[in-house]
Structure 1
Amino acid sequence: MTTTDAPAPTTTPDTLGCTTVATDDGPFTVLFDDGVVYASGWVNDGEYLRALIHPTLRPETLEERPGGDIVEAVRAYYEGDLDAPSRIAVRQHSGPFLQSAWAALRAVPAGPPVTYSELAERAGNAAAVRAAAACCAQNAAALFVPCHRVVRSNGGLGGFRYGLDIKEALIDREK
């Protein structure tokens, strides 16, 4: 399977656009093509994000480009429109469960976080709690696929690629 919610590409792009936005949580970089996010996160390093993209979708190069609606969605999120990133298409690749889990994550609204168990259930396999955690760990499109909205069953934050301080700030912002 090849998409979270964007149509499957006919070919893998040779080059993706890359742009960085200043946010309250630090620099946020997005890799994209034709309005579709391939990878994003709180780093100022497009190459770091490029390495997170599944090899079947990974481009050869990155090119600085304006992000258009994608950048506007990030800015809108930080201005209080917490659903803005969910209106941007995302493309990731993995097996059926991770695809289902990423789609389920896209449907988790801002507000109280869900647990890894709840995410597994939403993704169609209540027993796949560890796979739900793997879905978050392998998510290349942070914010657009809001893995920060998932916590441990005891309320602990669990992990987050960009640091628990950013995860906590995102959860607090969304309460």
Structure 2
Amino acid sequence: MTTYFTTTDTPAGPFTMLTDADEAVLASGWTTDVPGLMKLAKLPGEARAKSDPGVPLKALRSYLDGDLSAIDGVAVRQRGGEFIAHAWDVLRQVPAGGPVTYTEFAARAGRPAAVRAAAMACATNAAALFVPCHRVLRLDGTLGGFRWGLPVKRWLLDHEASRISLGTYVTSPYV
């Protein structure tokens, strides 16, 4: 399998995506460290530069321009155990502007007592943004952790909150 990478600037910093020939996101994050992303995603070999990975890059640009649902349809392929893979699918259903706590996330994933396992799903998520682990907060509403740094997580949550209409988005647990 050939892995491709592209890096683009975002308001939160440089963002790199690893994709396959089918334009599925294999890994992504606010970094320029392609070997680090390869390791995170447990991908063998090296990635080749690709100036335009098509759908994922267009979706990222649309998301940054305010179309928060643009990232929802992008194919993602990650390696993980049964619960972790299911939890990543559940994360993709957490709507922009509607962050959940780790406890709520565990319940949505079907294992309400497995809060640590839910947190592990966030921690091992290699496809940041496309699998929006930034939308999971601590029980007290604080940010918690984020592989790419709390300033990036804050920027993402603020970006999403600022784009939600007042009729849909009333209050935020992270303000």
Q: Which structure is higher in RCO with an 8 Å CA cutoff and minimum separation 6?
A: 1
Q: 1:148 aligns with which of 115, 134, 141?
A: 134
Query: Within 5 Å, which residues of 2 pair with 1:16-165?
Result: 16-33=3-20, 34-54=22-42, 58-65=43-50, 66-165=52-151
* TM-score of the superposed pair, with normalisation by structure 2: 0.89
Give the C-alpha shift of residue 59 in structure 1: 3.1
Give the C-alpha shift of residue 168 in structure 1: 0.6
Please list every run of 5 or more consecutive structure 1 residues that lacks an aligned counterpart in the other structure.
1-12
Letter in structure 1 aligned against 2:40 = L
Letter in structure 2 aligned against 1:60 = G
| 1:37–1:90 contact (8 Å) kept in structure 2 | yes
- Cα RMSD, aligned residues only: 0.8
What's the CA shift string for 1:76-106, capped at 9, x where partnerless? 1100011111110101111111111100000
| 1:30–1:41 contact (8 Å) kept in structure 2 | yes
Give the C-alpha shift of residue 72 in structure 1: 0.6
Which residue of structure 2 lines up, in the alignment, with residue 166 of structure 1?
Answer: 152
Please list every run of 5 or more consecutive structure 2 residues that lacks an aligned counterpart in the other structure.
162-175
How many percent identity over aligned positions? 53
* TM-score of the superposed pair, with normalisation by structure 1: 0.89
Whole-angstrom distance in 1 between the partners of 2:12 and 2:73: 21
* Number of residue equivalences: 159
